[in-house]
Amino acid sequence: QVRLVESGGGLVQPGGSLRLSCAASGSIFRLNTMGWYRQAPGKQRELVAQITSSGSTNYTGSVKGRFTISRDNAKSTVSLQMNSLKPEDTAVYYCNANIRENWRSLAADYWGQGTQVTVSS
């Protein structure tokens, strides 16, 4: 069974930096697009950044130039480097991965448990 485990959230002052990491484990035949989503209180979950298996990236407009997504295919990990953090970045951040567990199965989306990021002075 596939698991995604996140780490790296916490409290940081405005202008500071945090790095989130997510490791996928279990039955993984093919690891496709990986990404990070976030959900602030009272708001819908939104895409923050995505990275394909070949390394192509996509960012939501509000984080472009401040956040960088990367992945290590050999370790089945994805990371999000967040710089110049703003109070509006405060949210629970979720790791997402599209994974095919074996050659007979279709790919499906998996989610981590979420990690809190709070930007406040």
Q: What is the pLDDT of residues 85-111, one digit of tens each?
A: 999 999 999 999 999 999 899 999 999
Average pLDDT (38-66) is 97
Q: Return the pLDDT at 20.
A: 98
Q: Return the pLDDT at 104.
A: 92
Q: Return the pLDDT at 1.
A: 87
Phi and psi, residue 96, nearest 5°: -135, 140
3-class DSSP state of 25: strand
Average pLDDT (35-52) is 97
What is the percent of the chain where pLDDT is above 90?
A: 97
How does the average pLDDT of the chain come out, rounded? 96
When pLDDT is cut at 50, 70 and 90, the band that residue 48 belongs to is very high
- On whether the CB atoms of residues 36 and 20 are closer than 8 A, the answer is yes
